[in-house]
Structure 1
């Protein structure tokens, strides 16, 4: 008999809020290879800097609306008028530096694309190409995250320190950090 939603064992961080539980159960740690989706996730992780992920989750749809579906071609053309519009939007995290970083990130994404580089393949290549299955205490960063952070910064990305990058790697499924007792660990490992 399957466990009910209330009795499923989950990672501790996901149990405080129904939105966090849904994110944990449906998205977190599932390997994502789509370049645009990875770029969106990296940009959202940057907005989370200094805040709790639940804050970003609660505002994610407003972010998607404000950033035109996180379409890099559209975001790269944002002007000062768009920045002002976003800074006036109470539905998102209103940080000029993070908004400008996202616009710059879109331009970098498009430069890579124009040069024939696939953003998703580039990121996954740094992560070893397949999800790492870790066990034990969950680190806040790893040598891979440190290296990925350095390479992202070298490209011109902002808000991509090693801790943010490791959180991105976890969310994007580059590493399976579901707790050993979590009901999602084995399912995600099979992906």
Structure 2
């Protein structure tokens, strides 16, 4: 499928991610948590270039690296099952980072694997604990994430003034619940990724496809 989002044309990995995942609405709480974790590690990801009529995005190296290494993250972090992640310790993170550094030093590949930032990786464990605490308090993570846009997909390019507000509000509330590394820029990239904000370009075929999926889920 041809794409209208320029960043997705850079390599086959991005092309597949764009077509099959980016902006497609997600309502499952564990899947949402995984996407949030990956954005925490990337700590940003998509950079906006704004003009009067549209907003285009480009991808940065950290975001691409996380997409490429997602299988490894799932392996090391128990498929992002929060209850299993809570069992990981600081020593486990130290071991993960050490093994990654050894693997890289022995490899001729350009594949960089997991982040070596221990604080980011430890934040994932912290965020798993915050997720569980929400669950124990009777809060549904999916309903929480979608509540900032009144349970509806927001179309990027048509309401740019409000979009940063949504991400800032999500960031603020996550912080209150004990989450870390969930800055407004991380939350914006997360909301783009899971279809809470549909930022496919106006001429991208996936824009309407994601809208149709949102209608099925009652999010449009």
Report the alpha carbon displacement of residue 137 of structure 1 after superposing the two structures with TM: 9.1
Q: How far does the alpha carbon of each residue in 1:115-137 deviate from its partner, in whole angstroms, 9 at most, with x for none?
A: 11111111111232011123259
Worse-matched range after superposition: 172-181 or 129-138: 129-138
Distance 2:143 2:158 in 1: 28
Residue 86 of structure 1 and its aligned partner are, at CA, apart by 1.8
Q: Tell me what 1:101 maps to.
A: 123
Determine the C-alpha separation between the residues in 2 that align with 1:89 and 1:16.
30
Secondary structure (helix, strand or coil) at the match of 1:88 reads helix
Aligned mates of 1:184, 1:98 — CA distance in 2: 32
Aligned residues: 184
1:24 equivalent to 2:18? Answer yes
Structure with the largest fraction of strand: 2
Please say if residues 138 and 177 of structure 1, whose CA atoms lie closer than 8 Å, have aligned partners that are also in contact: no
Root mean square deviation of aligned Cα:
1.7
Separation in structure 1 between the aligned mates of residue 149 and residue 96 of structure 2, nearest angstrom: 33
Following superposition of structure 1 onto structure 2, how do residues 13-92 of structure 1 map, counting pairs within 5 Å? Answer: 13-49=7-43, 51-90=61-100, 91-92=113-114
Please, which runs of 5 or more residues in structure 1 have no aligned partner? none
Alignment-derived partner of residue 54 in structure 2: none
* Alignment check: 8 A CA contact 2:146 2:152 kept: yes
Unpaired stretches in structure 2, ≥5 consecutive residues:
45-60, 101-112, 214-220
In structure 2, relative to structure 1, the CA distance for the partners of 1:34 and 1:157 (3 Å cut) is same
